[in-house]
């Protein structure tokens, strides 16, 4: 079973690197969503409108901006994007291939290059957290503690899988599976998305992982990687990554 994602490499020359990383990039989830929607719109106006009107559930995922190197006056960073919808993935790929930069909250991020990464996930057991995630219980309340994370993630994936099956996007129902979190803990942070405050959780360490076990684990992996974990995934929440490659 294969998983594909786009890696967009950027470069910039901010005055204050740490502030740029911690505040501008980290706190502009909706602005980043809007920028990606504009990339799609440049290729397909109707498709972008359908996404914005939420007619295409969990249309795409994007990661945190990842900064492997903060040295020098001009530094590089990257963003991962994926979608289970071929039309959306293609629009993002074509749109970015024609752009030199994107604007997020009136600040330009200059594109260095674009890559398509493809992985056979059958032999990959654990995944990292590439963005914060938002979990809610059955009553719709945001969770306040880490105690029920495994169960809440499991129930959310089941809900997504059932919806996909009912809409004929999934050919089979998932069987029972388990989730194993290998982490030293999660950090709670508040985000403002369209004037609404959302409570999200971030991995404490980039080495923290989530593992899927059981009969349906390969199918569960694909659902989690393409559709994300938790809520508000279109706005930069719930994206998983692959250890040692991010």
Average pLDDT over residues 180-188: 88
Per residue in 48-89, pLDDT (tens digit) is 999 999 999 999 999 999 887 555 556 788 999 999 999 999
The whole-number pLDDT of residue 14 equals 61
- The two three-digit tokens of residue 133, written as one number: 């995630």
Spatial contact of 220 and 210, defined as CB atoms under 8 Å apart = no
Query: CA dist 105 to 2, 5, 12, 191, Å?
Result: 34, 24, 15, 16
User: For residue 239, what pLDDT band results from cuts at 50, 70 and 90?
Assistant: very high
* pLDDT for res 15: 60
Q: Which residues contact 121 (CB under 8 A, 6 or more apart)?
A: 1, 2, 3, 218, 221, 222, 225
pLDDT, averaged across the chain: 88
- Beta carbons within 10 angstroms of residue 228's beta carbon: 28
More confident residue, 20 or 118: 118
pTM given for the model: 0.91
Compute and round to an integer the Cα radius of gyration of the chain. Answer: 17
d(CA 36, CA 28) in angstroms, rounded, equals 12
pLDDT for the residue numbered 98:
95
192, pLDDT greater than 70: yes
CA distance 73 to 216: 48
Q: How many CA atoms lie within 13 A of 75 on its CB side?
A: 17
For residue range 106-147, what is the model confidence (pLDDT) as tens digits?
A: 888 889 899 999 999 988 989 999 999 998 766 666 666 566
Which residues fall within 8 angstroms of residue 103, CB to CB, at 6 or more apart? 35, 109
The answer to whether residues 56 and 163 touch, using CB atoms and an 8 Å cutoff, is no
In order of their start, the domains of the chain are 2-120 (3.30.70.1890), 126-241 (3.30.70.1900)
Could you give phi then psi for residue 96, rounded to 5 degrees? -65, -30
Query: What pLDDT score was predicted for residue 74?
Result: 63
| pLDDT score of 68 | 72
pLDDT (mean) for 20-38:
85
């Amino acid at each position: 079973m294969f998983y594909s994602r786009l890696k967009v490499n950027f470069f910039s020359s901010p005055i204050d690197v740490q502030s740029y990383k911690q505040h501008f990039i980290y706190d502009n989830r909706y602005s980043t969503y809007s920028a990606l929607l504009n990339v799609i719109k440049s290729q397909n106006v109707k498709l972008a409108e359908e996404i914005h009107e939420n007619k295409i559930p969990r249309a795409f995922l994007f990661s945190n901006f990842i900064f492997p190197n903060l040295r020098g006056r001009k530094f590089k960073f990257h963003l991962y994007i994926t979608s289970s919808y071929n039309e959306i993935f293609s629009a993002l790929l074509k749109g970015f291939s024609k752009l030199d930069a994107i604007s997020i909250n009136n600040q330009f991020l200059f594109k260095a290059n674009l890559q398509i990464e493809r992985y056979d996930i059958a032999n990959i057991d654990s995944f990292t957290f590439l963005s914060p995630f938002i979990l809610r219980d059955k009553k719709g309340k945001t969770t306040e503690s880490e105690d029920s994370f495994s169960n809440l993630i499991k129930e959310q994936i089941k809900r997504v899988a059932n919806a996909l099956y009912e809409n004929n996007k999934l050919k089979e129902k998932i069987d029972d599976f388990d989730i194993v979190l290998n982490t030293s803990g999660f950090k709670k942070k508040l985000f403002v998305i369209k004037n609404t405050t959302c409570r999200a959780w971030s991995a404490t360490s980039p080495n923290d992982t989530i593992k899927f076990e059981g009969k349906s684990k390969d199918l569960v992996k694909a659902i989690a990687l393409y559709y994300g974990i938790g809520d508000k995934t279109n706005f930069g929440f719930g994206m998983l990554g692959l250890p040692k490659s991010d």
